């Protein structure tokens, strides 16, 4: 249920209505627009006393949210969400490009790669310190040492850090080092983990599960936002289909479709979406053309010797070339790099 307040509503009025909602046993979530303030009443809608809310002098109208996801929906917040992360805006006209290796392997590797992607125009640095791998015998990441190396790379370049969190027990540790907490595809429906990152004041990059529907992705985002963290970024990273020529099928249909349903920004990961470095460039351009708010791309200083995902990693040289080629595509759809 959403409660729309009259234009003259002051802070005391917002708090008054919010307290009424709390007394009904629901959580109030405030969304302030340019002309109206909307308060979402989140929880069991059977508890809502609509007549009491409509009777309040400052309330303009009370409306049900028809979608199963509430805070995520455009009904709750019609305007696009803009996030500012260390001076990098996500969701605006300027595309955000997140680049870096799959895994942090060494000090030399991460700092060299960070400097190269910064020089080419990347706005944020990605790198895994804790790695979810299909085999228990493959490299699992450097752990906290990897986080410290990411921090060092940030000091060298100024690039905010995006890194993955896999376990509820690691959330507070990773939040000390990272600017954005990434939830990987395998954990998109790890609801305890979603609740845990929803309780911290750090933006969350939520990747779509490899077999997840649009609704399931948005419901996972709802888990995070229902805990109080409204800084959520969605990410399309490919889904599993019958094709054999690529690692996944990059479902770019979801980008314009998802913008109909939610105010949250959405990025595209063409590296995991294809699994092949020679497909990353064309699919990056396609992602920008269809309305993505940015890209997350794997870049390694020496892909042939990468411990993980070398097949889908660009070299710094190829990444720099891609950045040049993306500019006219961005301009053609009213965006910029």
The domains found in the chain, sorted by start residue, are 2-63 (3.30.70.1140), 83-332 (3.20.20.70)
* Rounded Cα–Cα distance for residues 80 and 220 (Å): 19
CB 144 within 8 A of CB 163: no
Predicted confidence band at 132 (pLDDT cuts at 50, 70, 90)? low
For residue 31, what pLDDT is reported? 86
Instruction: Please compute the mean of the pLDDT values over residues 288-308 and round it to a whole number.
Output: 95
Q: How far apart are the first and last CA of the chain?
A: 38
**Length reported for the chain:** 337
pTM to 2 decimal places: 0.90
Q: Each residue of 186-211: pLDDT tens digit?
A: 999 999 999 999 999 999 999 999 99
b/e 298-312 (16+ beta carbons within 10 angstroms → b): bbbbebeebbbbbbb
User: What contacts 257, CB < 8 A, 6 or more positions away?
Assistant: 214
Quick one: 324 exposed, middle or buried, by C-beta within 10 A (0-12, 13-18, 19+)?
exposed
pLDDT for 326: 98
Q: What is the mean pLDDT of the chain?
A: 94
Average pLDDT on 44-61 reads: 90
pLDDT of residue 66: 80
Tokens of 69: 């996801």
- Phi first, then psi, for residue 226 (nearest 5°) are -65, -20
Q: What is the pLDDT of residues 63-76, one digit of tens each?
A: 888 888 999 999 88
pLDDT value at residue 32: 84
Share of the chain above pLDDT 90, in %: 84
Per-residue pLDDT tens digits for 15-35: 999 999 999 999 898 988 778
Question: Residue 45 — very low, low, confident or very high, per pLDDT cuts 50/70/90?
Answer: confident
Give the per-residue pLDDT at 213: 97
Q: Alpha-carbon distance 36 to 11, whole Å?
A: 12
Question: Can you tell me the mean pLDDT for 274-297?
Answer: 98
- Report d(CA 218, CA 216) in Å as an integer: 5
pLDDT digits (tens, 9 = 90+) for 218-277: 999 999 999 999 999 999 999 999 999 999 999 999 999 999 999 999 999 999 999 999
pLDDT band of 133, cuts 50, 70, 90: low
Please, which residues have CB within 8 angstroms of residue 12's CB and are 6 or more apart in sequence? none
Tell the residue number behind the tokens 């100024």, with chain if given.
158
């Amino acid at each position: 249920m959403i409660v729309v307040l009259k234009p003259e509503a002051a802070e005391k009025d917002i708090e008054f209505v919010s307290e009424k909602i709390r007394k009904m046993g629901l959580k109030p979530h405030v969304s302030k627009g340019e002309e109206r303030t909307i308060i979402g009443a989140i929880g069991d809608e059977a508890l809502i006393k609509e007549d009491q809310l409509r009777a309040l002098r400052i309330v303009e109208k009370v409306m049900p949210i028809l979608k199963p996801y509430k805070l995520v929906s455009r009904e709750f917040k019609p305007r696009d969400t803009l996030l500012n992360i260390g001076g990098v805006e996500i969701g605006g006209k300027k595309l955000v490009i997140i680049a870096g290796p799959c895994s942090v392997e060494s000090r030399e590797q991460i700092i060299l790669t960070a400097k190269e992607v910064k020089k080419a125009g990347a706005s944020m640095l990605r790198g895994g310190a804790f790695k979810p791998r299909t085999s228990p015998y493959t490299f699992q990441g450097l752990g906290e040492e990897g986080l410290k190396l990411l921090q060092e790379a940030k000091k060298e370049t100024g690039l905010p850090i995006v890194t993955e969190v896999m376990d509820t027990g690691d959330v507070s540790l990773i939040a000390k080092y990272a600017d954005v907490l990434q939830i990987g595809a395998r954990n998109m429906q790890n609801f305890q983990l979603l609740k845990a990152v929803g309780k911290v004041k750090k933006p969350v990059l939520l990747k779509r599960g490899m077999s997840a529907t649009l609704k399931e992705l948005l419901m996972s985002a709802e888990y995070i936002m229902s805990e109080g963290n409204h800084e959520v970024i969605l990410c399309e990273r490919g889904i599993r289909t019958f094709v054999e020529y690529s690692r996944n099928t990059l479902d770019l249909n979801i980008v314009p479709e998802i913008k109909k349903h939610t105010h949250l920004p959405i990025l595209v990961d063409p590296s995991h979406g294809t699994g092949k470095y020679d497909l990353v460039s064309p699919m990056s351009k396609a992602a920008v053309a269809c309305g993505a708010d940015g890209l997350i791309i794997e870049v390694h200083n020496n892909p042939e010797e990468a411990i993980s995902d070398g097949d889908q990693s660009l070299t710094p040289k190829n990444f720099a070339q891609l950045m040049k080629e993306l500019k006219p595509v961005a301009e053609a759809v009213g965006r910029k790099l």
